[in-house]
Amino acid sequence: MARKYFGTDGIRGRVGVHPINAEFMLKLGWATGRVLGNGAATRVVIGKDTRISGYMFESALEAGLSAAGVDIRLLGPMPTPSIAYLTRTMHACAGIVISASHNPHHDNGIKFFSAQGTKLPAEVEAAIEAELENPMVTVSSEKLGKAERVEDARGRYIEFCKSTIPSRISLRGLKIVIDCANGATYQVAPSVLEEMGADVIGIGVEPNGLNINEECGSTMPELLCERVLKEGADLGIALDGDGDRVIMVDHKGELVDGDELLFIIAASRKENEQLAGPVVGTLMSNLGLEHALHQLNIEFRRARVGDRYVMEMLNEHGGVVGGESSGHIICLDRTSTGDGMVSALQVLATMIQKNVGLHELKQGMKKYPQCMINIPLVRHLDVNNSEPIQSAVRRAETHLNGTGRVLLRSSGTEPLIRVMVEGEDETLVRQQAKLLAEIVEHTVTGHAESA
């Protein structure tokens, strides 16, 4: 379904550039209220990350919703997954998140959650876009929506996070460094760990509106690796700006990425007889994850890149655990969306229950060397229907001889073709990736010249 504003994860862009401006957000709040409120007395909750533009967009959305006759509950700076949780528990008709996730401060965006704490269906997004085309009409004064701040939102979410692992589990004796990316988790994440008894060292916990994701967080974990070693900590946790992704670091300062965390969680669920359906990764998930899960007799399926597609496949096949290499992990047996803090707690609980460190836990999965080369795409090219490219793919697969895989895909956000090869032999992987990339680049250039 073609949509004008909504992408795979809400509406996102540069602050001040349409549609990420105050005028559009006013109309978006009104259109959302018209579609989801449906003329009845109802409420919408709004949360945000720590970007300076969040104040502006919060006010604009609040005004638009009020004009549509919808009550508003303001949560303040809170992680994206907490808005999903509070939308459900407060019986709101929708939740709105003002965030651009792991992007820098000059970007922002809007994400929506349904009353069930899940992403809005495509048909609802289409209905909101259709309403945006209509003139904005304000309800009569006695029907205007009222806005209130939810003072205990942080405490509610902290208790929820703790409830996702057995109450008998304590983190006493663990020294944990947590990097909150100067983002939405800067208050709640350290509090969760401290209340569970851990010795917590916080970094990226001093947001100023401009430093969100700046050389910190899950997309830049080098600082966390260094701090874990310096402090002699047992492990580190890195979240992104809105708190739905997590990457961890073991006591040796080695990264534990989303694939490895997904393996740890899935293996623990299997051992405790709590795993239902297949584990779902993406086309980019490391081949080592697939092999490690198969060794445990756990079915593994690959979805398109994007947590929306992971969620769809989990629901389709009755799965409860899925995720991406980036650290966006979904535990549907605990919550309704990807949640970095909840995912980290599942790993910590496994460490405590098995009485082993994070470094030991990740040994059950051997990551395969992976090489990715991006080829600029001048004109549209369907790699699946290009015989030179497909012949090159078959040659690469022959050289890998069943010890790896080849993936070509168009980027969903940039004009690029991503060439990815992975396998057991790193030298062979890099060699085949380079050869294949050369063929793709030559074909792209030739296509452009002949077009």
Q: Catalytic amino acids?
A: 101
The Cα-based distances of 139 to 40, 43, 142, 224 in angstroms read 12, 15, 8, 51
Residues 321 and 346 sit within 8 Å (Cβ to Cβ) = no
Q: What are phi and psi of 126, to 5 degrees?
A: -65, -40
Give the amino acid at 236.
G
Contact, 74 vs 46, CB < 8 A?
A: yes
The span from the CA of 95 to the CA of 80, in Å, is 10
In angstroms, rounded to a whole number, what is the distance separating the alpha carbons of residues 320 and 266? 9
Residue 236: what are its φ and ψ, rounded to 5°? -130, 155
